[in-house]
A and B are shown apart, each in its own frame.
Chain A
Amino acid sequence: MTVRQLILVVVVLVAGATLVTIDGNSDGNVQNDLTQSNLLAATGIAEMPFVSSEDAMTTNWFCPGVPANDDTISSSLVIANSSETDFSATVTLLSKDQTPVVNAVSVPARSHITLDARGGITSPFVSAIVEIVGPEGSVEQIVRHPAGDAVVLCATQPSKDWYFADGFTGADSIEQIVMTNPYVDATVVDITFVTTDSQRSPEQLQGFVLPPNSVVALSMDEQGARNEPIVAVSIHASSGRLVAGRAQHYLGQGRLGYSMSLGAPAMSTQWWFADGEKIAGNSENLIIYNPSSRDRSLSVVFINGSDSANSIEPLLITAPAHRVTTIDTGTIPSLPVGRYGIIVSTNDQDKGDSLGIVVEQVINRRDGNTVGTSIVLGAPHNSGSTMWTSPSGVSSSEDALQIMNTTSQEATVSVYQVGPAGAVVLGGLESLVLSAGGVLSVGVPPGLPDAQIIVQSTMAVVVQRLFLRGHDLIGRSAALALPHLPSPQVDVLAP
């Protein structure tokens, strides 16, 4: 064998060894990628309505629907434009068995418009789709019910799944699941609900067809959930997608009032509530729905910055599969009176099933013999943002905005109102200090013009709004503000 031949053989052998090495690393990479991929899939960033911080061709809002066959109930759509340019929007109203009604509207810069959400249509429910060309604009709907007004978030996209943790048909209360199919195709859904005793999947609710461009409302009491204190609902579209909301009219058994809310389009491993409150006479319940087929170990953490609430040990509980677990915070003796933030999170690692749960907060505010019930869905994992918006503004009250710092760093918060001059900070509501992991209750003085409100923070926060219920009713109705996602970087608050 010649020297050259020997060199060639060595080179080829080295190349072979290199190949094996590369291959080994490749396998590692695959493993890593797979792991990350699994994690991403499993973590499943919960989707909630949000204002996109990125450029988008169109911004679409799918409102869950308003009652449209009762003249005592009025409703409106609010389309806000905080940008420096006008935009046009197309509003499509969907109802049952009627042709969609399409209207084009123009929204001037730095303003908002309010439209009749019924659009003159008579139908059990009417849902609106608002399509805005461009990335700007935010939309929500308001229902003015004799039993209390409700500000309702609109979804930014239809989903295959919807969950409602809370449900109540006690004392013949009315609970309606409003399903909107905005597509030109029929959507087929399977509906399951959980009561105190069991999970039920009525045959008539399996393969339930939502006709194209239609709105269908299901009264849960008619589906076999009459007089149930617990009615959690999950909807899964086997074909197509939908938007689902829930209308509740409480008539007794500790609950009174009217609530309309958008469902949770996905489960989440964490749920954040900015307005936990332990106030004398009020009751607060966390309704935890575990739609998955595995029991979940959960931690419930109460936070309030440096306040004493932080000293409370996390509450560890197990949420059984296909069941609803209720936590009455009033029964936690170590929980101090006052406001705090609540974080409900799962402790489980992935076991081949979805990790998430769905959590809603129910507060019954009592004043004498009367009660005002408010329900709010928590902010899911990764929804913390430095900017939140309220298209329809806020009620003038001492607790209009509840802000929770989701980070371990102190934040500075300012509240702006969008007017002809653009976003202007509200007097006294600038550069408010919010401690790490703390909560802040922001009051809004009376006389504030009806306009879009923007909350800006130097750190990621969760913002919840408390509205007066109108009609001189006691208590509050609650709704999350709309986060701007991905969370914009805010180093210094604008003056």
Chain B
Amino acid sequence: MTIVTNPAGYADVGARTPAIEAPPVVVSIVVYQPCPWLDEVLEALANQDYTNLQTLFFVQSGSEGTSDRIRHYLPSSVIRQVEGNPGFGPLMNEVGRLVEGDGGFFCFMHDDVALDTNAISCMIDEMFRSNAAVVGPKMVMWDDVTVLQSVGLGADRIGDINPLVKSGEKDQQQHDAVRDVFLLPSACLLVRADLFREIGGFSPDIALFGEDLDFCWRAHLSGARVLVVPTARARHRAEMNASRSIATMSALEARHRVRTVATLSGRVQLPVVMMQLLIMAIARVFIGVFNGTFREAQSSLRASVAVILDVGYIVRRRAEVRPYRRIPAAEIHDLQSRGSARLWAFIRKRQTRVQELSGLSAQDLADPKSRTVGIIALVVIGLIVIGSRGLIGNGVASVGQFLPLRSATESPSALFSSFVSGWWHGGFGQAGANPTGIALLAIAGAGVLGRIGALQTLGVVGAIVVGSFGMWQVTSGFFGSRARIVGFLIYAAVPIPYVAVAQGRFEVLVCFAALPWMLRLLVRVGQRPVGIQKTQLLATTILFGAVVMAFAPVFAIVALWAGGAWMIADLVLRVRLRAVIAVAQLLVVMSIGAVALNFPWSGGFFATDWWQQIIGVQSTSNGHIGIATLARMDGGVVAISVLVLGFYVPVIVGLLIVRGDKLVWAARSATLVVTTCIAIALIDAGYVHLGVPEYGVMFVVVACGLSLASTTMASFVFDDQSENAFRWGKALAGIAGVCLAIACLPVLAQTANGRWGQPKVSLAQLVAQLPTDPESGDYNVVYVGRSEVLGLPAMRLNDTTAFAIAQDGELTMRDHWLAPSNALTDAAGQALNAAISRQTVRTGRLLSSLGVRYIVVPIIDGAASTNKKPLEAPTGLLDGLSLQLDFRRVYTASDLVIFENMAYIPSLTKLDEASAVLSQQGGTNALLSSQLRVEQVIPRVGDIGSLPTSLESGTVHVAVPFSDDLVLHVNDSDVIPRVAFGGTTAFDSPAAGVATLGFRTPWSHLALLLMQLILWSIVIIATFNVKRLKSRIGVRRIQPIVLGESNDVVLKFSNTTVHTDEEGNGLS
């Protein structure tokens, strides 16, 4: 059967060529939308000098006019309507199904490629001549055929594309030699049909961007040659890419590239290649900052990391590829570019393939604004890193609340074990749910592969960066990048985080890192998302709040306060009421949700001392400092910090000069700053007597306001100024800008320190002199003094004094969380109060049953209290303790006083008979009148356990709160516990034997943990749209392609008349 596809009127091929048999070629094109250049494309096809040519068009349903246009040029074309947009690759795979028979060729084309008349015949000719399987034409620019677009592409081992021509390179036939290439653009590919079918066509999982790399790579694997045929020329508009954003293209290209590399690389090379992939992705992020391709680099990094999620897909896909993997991977690698195509491209100032395909010029892409912003961001981060060099090099000192992470106690397994056990190690220890933060810390520890020491440094330094980046995000979508980078810069330049680092204020740092992201959530909810987006937003907020509150419960108060100020501003500026309500709703949902996710630990918040549990003990130095000093945000320690007041100038300037929608932002920033400062001033001056979070935490709200004010003002300068008619505004903005620049100086000067002023020698090192697990028996330590210098969360004793309990050994991160008060902490507080108020000189006896051996009074911790600016010990504390007859001074210095309680008994002992009798009494009188005696010391291990110890019958006492789940195993029997001394636990063992202390985890606790896990899972599913995630993790396949019914002929590869050229040579 002879099929003549082109009408004689348009291509007089029959007259020009003798009829010989030619291999059939089916040209397949996808036409999605009517486009003006389609006529040129169709005409070029119609003019092809290749005779055995059939055309197959996939036209999106509804484009009736398009079919008519196709029929006009190519009347015998087969046209199939396509439902939806299944993507180029998957749709082209339909060609293999729709065309019957082998022995022919498929020519896949975009609808914006116009072939030269002889393009098909040249490619067929070369295909036979070179025994190639995939060939492609030389691509030139649509509007200027003298400019090369592509003569094939190279690729390195990690799939980075290496264009063989420079951008804008003129065609001087310099690339006109036929050559093997690693891949050809899918804009025009001529493929042997049998090979196409054998290797499964294009990847069904790659709708667009990257399908050519994947296909050509697999072609190579099957042993086929891929050639570029420069004598065949095609013009290409690259419209398919131009219609999409660079971000979308980058993301898709990166994801498909990583998948392809992971799928098609050899088994042996794969680990190295994946490592190379990750390293290059990270390197690209840095390079991207400079060459304005940060976003693309970000996509690349994200794709490289997310490959973990594609494991399932990769495994299956590799199995699919395995049957036709005929060429060793090493040979394939020989075909690939050496080194890094991306690096070479960078060095040679070449553009990436995506950039080329986008049709944007290099000038367009190298956005100077983007570059400036990137450089500023990098400089700021660099300064933070430089300023933190001492911390990075030598680690974070254990000052203030910065408790160290130790592998013995903070390893992921130890933390998980503790979390599940139902025994809270903090304070005296007690049966109860551990803080959720312990589980999160364990996960984080596992995330850094157990390098928990690095985790702390990363957390401390990273918090500053995270907070600053969060502030960059707050106004995303509202202000330009240059204005936003000012906000980023200002937030990074306020002294709060650095003072927090110096003084070890963990919660301040957490709030600093988290609050901007909370504000971002307020912005997003103000845009009133609906449906799944709203659900996702609410879930994100809950998850975010839960994670932050797990480490810093005070964040809930800060977020509510900031949210309240935010709403006030919105109401004043008459922002849509619904948006304000949405903000309120979000705050309520966050509070309730975060508490729910942290349950059962958060159950401790529902107590009489709930406020203290959340905000901690009010700092006693918070008083009569003066707002002028406080506003400097560093406590006024450094004289130069007065310059920081310059940050406040944009608050008022912003209100004066901005217009329109930006006034809302100015008002928000002013409200955040003003309301918080007034609250602080009132409390500081003593007009309001409320327990409030420490000033550092409250000033985080102020810092956010200052940063927003700067951003708003910068937006006026960078985004609106050209249209602004008010010149005085420009002058004011200039003045404010100068103030901002000056205000940055104190922090800039601080970078010289390298540790942000954090002392190298900490109080913890001095306290380390106390013995750990001594043979004389385990014990507890009471830390008492000003809450700022205690180093661990404390309970309020009186207006000026707080106290905390710890077990012997080094204080570590596990001690960060404040354990709920119980009978033992109450007893300890009562005893300390008695000492301070001089009600007794036998406080030692009162503390004896609690196993308290040492009373530590920190005075100068080098952070909140320094030699230059010491915080005196609370009035009466040292005098009261010095009066005690049972206390021996172990260490007395200006910075620290340690008393040893000579009346103490170890925390796990066998009591003598008299003491055993005494233990059955509650109240203080029994303790005050008698000295407890010990018969035998039992060594404790772990959180609540002991070494097996041989004991005579008698009473074993353990200085932990009573719990039914405590058990003393004596030989094979369990001894039931009883309450001792009104709060502790004792076991009256009737028989001698080997005894071991233990704790039975209650089922109810496990049930609660399971419920917590379910809650977290639900919120995570809602947050991350797990349906999408699941499709990502699973082997995602494109939806089935639905083609409309057609009456066109069935396409077949069969013998046909092959036209010959003028000399009578057949096209073989």
- Bound Cα distance A303, B626 (Å): 49
Q: Mark B666-686, 1 if CB is under 8 A from A, else 0.
A: 110010001001100110111
Q: Is B886 an interface residue when CB atoms closer than 8 A count as contact?
A: yes
Contacts of B573 in A (CB 8 A): 4
Contact A26 B840 (CB under 8 A): no
Are B841 and A239 in contact, with the CB atoms below 8 A?
no
Residues of A near B628 (CB, < 8 A) are 23
- Closest chain-B Cβ to A59's Cβ sits at a distance in Å of 9
Q: Mark B100-142, 1 if CB is under 8 A from A, else 0.
A: 0000000000000000000000000000000000000000000
Closest Cβ of chain A to B211, distance in Å, is 55
**Are A26 and B655 in contact (CB-based, < 8 A)?**
no
Expressed in whole angstroms, the minimum distance between the Cβ of A121 and any Cβ of chain B is 19
Query: B681, B842, B902: which has the most chain A beta carbons within 10 Å?
Result: B681
Contact-size category for B: 35 or more
In the complex, B99 has a CB within 8 A of chain A: no
Q: Which of A15, A157, A182 has the most CB of B within 10 A?
A: A15
Within the complex, what minimum Cβ distance (angstroms) separates B883 from chain A? 6
| B928 engages A22 (CB within 8 Å) | no
With a cutoff of 8 Å between Cβ atoms, the chain A residues found around residue B682 in the complex are 22
**A57 and B681 form a contact (CB under 8 A):** no
Tell me whether B889 is interfacial, beta carbon within 8 Å. Answer: yes
With a cutoff of 8 Å between Cβ atoms, the chain A residues found around residue B451 in the complex are none
Q: Does the CB pair B674–A15 fall under 8 Å?
A: yes
Least CB distance from A48 to B in Å reads 15
- The 8 Å CB contact of B928, one of A2, A55, A133, A239, is A133
A241/B882 contact (C-beta < 8 A), A22-B685, A23-B628 known = yes
Kindly identify which residue among A12, A56, A183, A185 contacts B674, using a CB–CB cutoff of 8 Å: A12
**A12-B674, A26-B627 as given contacts; A239 in contact with B685, CB under 8 Å:** no
Chain B residues with CB under 8 Å of A241's CB are 882-883
- Supposing A13-B652, A29-B624, A133-B929 touch, asked if A19 and B885 sit within 8 A by C-beta, the answer is no
Is B839 engaged at the interface, CB distance under 8 Å to the other chain?
yes
Give A29 to B678 CA distance when docked, in angstroms: 17
Contact A57 B624 (CB under 8 A): no
Docked complex Cα distance between A185 and B888 (Å): 5
Most buried by A among B651, B670, B684, B685: B685
Query: A104 touching B841 by the CB < 8 A rule?
Result: no
A131 within 8 A of B: yes
Q: Is A90 an interface residue (CB 8 A)?
A: yes
- Check: B2 CB closer than 8 A to any chain A CB: no
CB-contact partner of B842 in A8, A23, A131, under 8 A: A131
Give the interface centre of B663, B841, B924 by most chain A CB atoms within 10 Å: B841
Q: Which A80-132 residues have a C-beta within 8 angstroms of B? A: 88, 90, 104, 129, 131
| A184 pairs with B839, CB closer than 8 A | no
Contact A12 B885 (CB under 8 A): no
- Residues on A with beta carbons closer than 8 Å to the beta carbon of B687: 22
On whether the beta carbons of B626 and A26 are closer than 8 Å, the reply is yes
Q: For A313, what are the chain B residues with a Cβ–Cβ distance below 8 Å?
A: none
Which residues of chain B have C-beta atoms less than 8 A from A5's C-beta? 655-656, 663
Given A57-B840, A58-B840, decide whether A12 and B685 contact each other with a Cβ distance below 8 A: no
What is the CA–CA distance of A22 and B630 in the complex, to the nearest angstrom?
13
Whether A185 contacts B685 by the Cβ 8 Å rule is: no
B685-A184 in contact (CB<8A):
no
Alpha-carbon separation in the docked complex, A105 to B840 (Å): 18
Any chain A CB within 8 A of the CB of B834?
A: yes
Q: Which of A57, A129, A183 has the most CB of B within 10 A?
A: A57
Question: Does A104 contact B883, Cβ atoms closer than 8 Å?
Answer: no
Given contacts A58-B842, A90-B929, contact A184 B677 (CB under 8 A): no
* Minimum distance in angstroms from A269 CB to a CB of chain B: 21
Q: What are the residues of chain B within 8 A of A55 when measuring CB–CB?
A: 839
Residues of B within 8 A of A1 (CB): 656
Known contacts A1-B656, A241-B883: does B626 contact A157 (CB below 8 Å)?
A: no
List A residues 243-274 near B (Cβ within 8 Å). Answer: none
Interface residue? B892 (CB, 8 A): yes
Quote the shortest CB–CB distance from A455 to chain B (angstroms): 25
| Cβ contacts under 8 Å, B655 to chain A | 5, 8-9, 12
Contact A26 B681 (CB under 8 A): yes
Partner of A26, one of B652, B663, B686, B882: B686
Query: A330 vs B213: C-alpha distance in the bound complex, in angstroms?
Result: 120
Q: Does B572 contact A (CB under 8 A)?
A: yes
Return B846 CB to nearest CB of chain A, in Å: 8
Interface residues of A in 15-31 (CB under 8 A from B): 15-16, 18-19, 22-23, 25-27, 29-30
Contact between B670 and A184, CB atoms less than 8 A apart: no
Please pick, from B572, B677, B887, the residue contacting A8 in the complex, using a CB distance under 8 A: B572
Whether, in the assembled complex, A240 has its beta carbon less than 8 Å from a beta carbon of chain B, the answer is yes
From A19, A27, A88, A184, B902 is in contact (CB under 8 Å) with A184
Picked from B684, B885, B888, B928, the residue with its CB within 8 Å of the CB of A57 is B928
Q: How far is the CB of A380 from chain B (nearest CB, A)?
A: 17
Instruction: Tell whether A33 is near chain B: CB-to-CB under 8 Å.
Output: yes
A137 CB-CB contact with B under 8 Å: no
A36 vs B1045: C-alpha distance when bound (angstroms): 97
B925 at the interface (CB under 8 A from A): yes
* Nearest Cβ on chain A to B426's Cβ, whole angstroms: 28
The residue on A at minimum CB distance from B648 is: A16
**Hey, which chain A residues are within 8 Å of B882, CB to CB?**
240-241
Interface flags for B904-927 (1: CB within 8 Å of A; 0: not) read 000000000000000000001100
Is the CB–CB distance between A29 and B840 below 8 Å? Answer: no
Q: Which residues of A contact B681 (CB under 8 A)?
A: 18-19, 22-23, 26
B572 contact set on A, CB distance < 8 A: 4, 8
> A158 an interface residue at 8 Å Cβ cutoff?
yes
Q: Counting CB contacts under 8 A, is A346 at the interface?
A: no
Which residues from B are CB-within-8-Å of A30? 624, 626
- A60 at the B interface (CB under 8 A): yes
Name A23-59 residues within 8 Å CB distance of B: 23, 25-27, 29-30, 33, 55-58
Distance in angstroms from A442 CB to nearest chain B CB is 33
A23 to B677, CA, bound (A): 11
Q: Closest approach, in angstroms, between the C-beta of B22 and any C-beta of chain A?
A: 77
**How close is B829's CB to chain A, nearest CB, in angstroms?**
14
- Once the chains bind, are B627 and A22 in contact (CB under 8 Å)? yes
B838 interface residue (CB < 8 Å to A):
yes
Within the assembled complex, what's the spacing in Å between the Cα atoms of A19 and B887?
Answer: 47
Instruction: With CB as the reference atom, state the residue of chain A lying closest to B675.
Output: A15
Q: Which of B572, B839, B892 is most buried by chain A, counting CB atoms within 10 A of its CB?
A: B839
For B841, give its contact among A11, A18, A29, A60 (CB under 8 Å). A60
In contact, A239 and B892 (Cβ under 8 angstroms): yes
Q: Are A157 and B928 neighbours in the complex by a CB distance under 8 Å?
A: no
Interface string of A343-363 (1 = CB under 8 A from B): 000000000000000000000
Are the C-beta atoms of A33 and B678 separated by less than 8 Å? no
Q: Which residues of A contact B685 (CB under 8 A)?
A: 22-23, 25-26, 29
Cβ–Cβ contact B924 & A57, under 8 A: yes
Decide if A60 touches B840 in the complex (CB within 8 Å).
yes
The residue on B at minimum CB distance from A32 is: B624
CA distance A9 to B670 in the complex (A): 9
- Of chain B, the residue at the smallest CB distance from A135 is B839
The CA-CA distance from A54 to B992 in the complex, in Å, is 48
Would you list which residues of chain B between 572 and 631 have a CB under 8 Å from chain A?
A: 572-573, 624, 626-628
4 tightest A-B CB contacts, nearest first: A26-B685, A30-B624, A58-B840, A57-B840
Listed in ascending order, the chain B residues whose CB lies under 8 Å from chain A are 572-573, 624, 626-628, 651-652, 655-656, 663, 666-667, 670, 674, 677-678, 681-682, 684-687, 834, 838-842, 846, 882-883, 885-889, 892, 902, 924-925, 928-929
* 11 pairs, CB–CB < 8 Å, chain A vs chain B: A8-B667, A9-B655, A22-B627, A22-B678, A26-B626, A26-B627, A60-B840, A157-B838, A183-B885, A184-B885, A184-B902
Which residues of A does B touch, CB under 8 Å?
Answer: 1-2, 4-5, 8-9, 11-13, 15-16, 18-19, 22-23, 25-27, 29-30, 33, 55-58, 60, 88, 90, 104, 129, 131, 133-134, 157-158, 182-185, 239-241
Other A-B pairs, 7, CB within 8 Å; known A1-B656, A57-B839: A8-B572, A12-B670, A19-B681, A26-B626, A26-B684, A29-B624, A57-B924
